[in-house]
Amino acid sequence: MKTIIRNAIIVNEGRQFIGSVVIEDEMIQQVLEGDDSSQHYDIEIDATGLYLFPGVIDDHVHFREPGLTHKADIASESRTAAAGGVTSYMEMPNTNPPTTTLDLLEEKFHLAAAHSRVNYSFYFGATNDNADTLQRLDPHRIPGIKVFMGSSTGNMLVDREEALRRIFATSPLLLMAHCEDTNIINANIRAFKKRYKGQNDFPVRYHSRIRSVEACYESSAFAVQLAKETGARLHIAHVSTAKELELFEQKPIEEKKITAEAVIAHLMFTTEDYDTLGTHIKCNPAVKTPEDRAALREALTNGLIDVVATDHAPHLESEKVGGALKAASGMPMIQFSLVSMLEMSDQGILPIERIPDLMAHNPAKLFHIEKRGFIRPGYYADLTLVDPNGNWQVKEGRYYTKCGWTPMDERTFKWRVRRTIVNGLTAYSDGVVVDGIRGKELRFN
């Protein structure tokens, strides 16, 4: 079957131009500047006035299956991904049970093959005791190993230095690290409890002072030190502070062994938003000051940040009740990542051509994803069409996450995802997730 997307504004590999893309079955056959009306196509999509991007590759999501499916599952959150222009995701291991054995990892792949609307893969979770298993992971199927160097949602903290050193020294795959120093966090909690006479929870505005800049920096600095000592490939997740940016280099991603990810929450929200959004924006690491956010936004274009993801982490609203200690940490963001970045481009924060670098090209390069992340002949047709004049308010539209809420509820977006194509087939179109479409397992070279 042949499909043509005609007259789109194509944004890809550092440039934009009006052109057309020819798809044959699953793959991109041609990328044309202008149009080609001489051939017959089974499906013709008129994209006049719309922007065509490579499908977003989100390297950091929590879809909660198995064990936590009351709040989300692979079917519901992959639908949400498709509605946001995300065509591939890599999911984290802190489910219940955690993905820390080969059998549990295989179970996730079976679930995704049956239920995922977009392409998928899964991280393996490191623990204090499973370093021997890392050598048995298939590097063509697994994007990396997740190391929780700070306690977060789930019980996967790797807190023994000898275990960390062994993981860093022997891992055959990229290490993706959650970096927050648990000792500093616990000391901050004790100080707050002393100050507030044994109180067991505090207003959420104190979350960023408990999970502080110091806690983030000290853990990230230690991870970078270990990576340099051992030669490990290290990708630090959800960098949230200006100070952490000092740890990274400004050079092409192909030349780096230590890379940095920013997530939408830290690019969109600051501590000033707690007054209006409360625990809806509570996440680990915490959102930080406006000055930290400004530094992260600058790093989107100066080369210090390599990848933008979501850390999509659904919880029921009932689980977000409480304050800095008791409310669950995490928020559902995957449907709004691409449009949020495009809004930032409109605000002059980064050029539109940089968005595919951060959300498709660089994830594909970093993880060596086979034939995805670019609009190129011979690559899988993973694409998204976005309307620059969509003008929609989130709460009046439709969102698909199973948990049923988002901190974006009151936000109005100018940009709107109109169509998401996964492996050559339309998975989402103008508010409708197409039944029967299934993604493929990602492969890594």
**Burial zone of 421 (CB within 10 Å; 0-12 exposed, 13-18 middle, 19+ buried):** buried
d(CA 235, CA 412): 33
Q: Is 311 part of the annotated catalytic residue set? A: yes
Q: Which of 67, 379, 325 has its CA nearest to residue 204?
A: 325
Q: Tokens 């295989």 appear where?
A: 106
List beta partners, residue 432.
429
d(CA 305, CA 25): 35
Question: Which residue among 58, 59, 292, 311 is the active-site one?
Answer: 311
| Residues 383 and 393: beta-carbon distance below 8 Å | no
Alpha-helical runs (H) found in 58-205: 74-83, 102-115, 161-170, 182-195
Q: Tokens 């070279």 appear where?
A: 445
- Residue type at 419 in one-letter notation: R
Residues 325-343, buried b or exposed e (16+ Cβ, 10 A)? bebbbbbbbbbbbbbbbbb
- Residue type at 75 in one-letter notation: A
CB contact set of 100 (below 8 Å; sequence gap of 6+): 93, 124, 125, 126, 127, 130, 133, 156
| Residues 248 and 242: beta-carbon distance below 8 Å | no
Residues 151-174, buried b or exposed e (16+ Cβ, 10 A)? bbbbebbbeeeebbebbbeebebb
> Could you list the active site residues?
311
